[in-house]
Amino acid sequence: MNNRLDLETLIRWQNGRRRATSAARPADDSALQEVSGFGSNPGGLRMLAHVPEGLPPGAPLVVALHGCTQNAAGYDRGCGWSTMADRLGFALLFPEQQRANNSHLCFNWFEPGDIARDSGEALSIRQGIEHLVRAHGLDPRRVFITGLSAGGAMTAVMLAAYPEVFAGGAIIAGLPQGSALGVPEALRAMARPQTLSAASRGGSVRSVSGHRGPWPRVSVWHGDADTTVHPDNAEESVKQWLYLHGLADAPAVEQMSGGHVRRRWLGPDGTTRVECHRIAGLAHGVPLSPGDGEGQCGEAGAYLLDAGVSSTHGALEFWGLAEERAMSAAPGPRPAPGPARPAPAMAAMASMPGAMPGAMDPGATITRALKAAGLL
């Protein structure tokens, strides 16, 4: 990756930013519907949603944030989120960046006015969540958020700014909260993050909202061949959330399937509070297993990469939503969310020995044909 090009692009983002008007655009030809009147929208974002027909009251909500150069409809199709929402029974909210805010359609994860609690884009996303929960009777205790790249960095921002809102998150090829204020710091963090103490990373989150817990559960995904957002950002994100959950550095479980390494840190009750997926040979993008079979969904494309493992399924399994439809349809009170049946790719890993010694062997790297070009 050409760092000069990265800097020039970031400068164009900075210089070309201006707030969008409130005029609504027609919804894309997709499963998503435009959401209007959701609040003051200080960040000038567009909001789209998918609420499956017949969704019962008390269903969960998943918020998905696209990456740069993407839009909500394309990100939905690529990741298969609407397909999984229809299958499992949850609502979806897709905040969408507008070119008037950022010429490359990136969420402004490095702009002070957009990442503070009750300010800018962060507040717009919070308003969209509150509107959808109220309008459709969703469960405010089961709101989850995920995103890719700039959307992954914005996911970390939202988890820090509004930790009381989210039960869990999934950061894909993103950066930890507090990585950058302004363009130069953003460039440096993308190229290689600072190695900070856990207390420093965690303290950055604590300082945003004054929240003292409980904290959202967080899943981190990153490819080891990512030259756009350095993979060390995954380790800094993990460090941040381990500190907040009061967990030790060493994972309780480390599993490997081919070049996919999954580490898990467990809470006192035995549930996974933080996990990290590192995928050998994977460039910058969402790891997917496209198709219509079990454990598959979505379509491969730019920054939507066929990795043989579905991060969409993995996030849903981690959040305990994998069997949501069955629980919703059952008569009587709905049981509390518990460990869900893993998707096939996750199940394959779970069947392997729990402890894997040492770090990943570079010789195990899997070469994959990936579509990834330009700066995301």
Nearest residue to 55 (alpha-carbon basis) of 331, 335, 324? 324
Residue-wise DSSP of 113-162: HHHSTTSHHHHHHHHHHHHHHHHHT--TT-EEEEEETHHHHHHHHHHHH-
Neighbours of 204 (CB within 10 A): 17
In Å, what is the CA distance from 118 to each residue of 31, 101, 153, 239?
30, 18, 17, 26
Query: What pairs with residue 91 in β-bridges?
Result: 61
- Which residue do the tokens 């740069």 mark? 68
- Whether 149 is catalytic: yes
Q: How far apart are the first and last CA of the chain?
A: 11
H helices, E strands: number in the chain = 12, 12
The one-character DSSP state at 164 is T
Phi-psi region of 311 (alpha: psi -120 to 50; beta: other; left: phi over 0): alpha
Q: In angstroms, rounded to a whole number, what is the distance separating the alpha carbons of residues 112 and 119?
A: 9
Identify the active-site residue in 22, 30, 124, 149: 149
The one-character DSSP state at 362 is G
Q: Which amino acid is at 318?
A: F
CB 201 within 8 A of CB 178: yes
211: Cβ–Cβ under 8 A, 6 or more apart, which residues? 163, 164
Query: What pairs with residue 95 in β-bridges?
Result: 47
| Cβ-based burial of 203 (10 A; exposed 0-12, middle 13-18, buried ≥19) | middle
Q: Which residues are catalytic?
A: 149
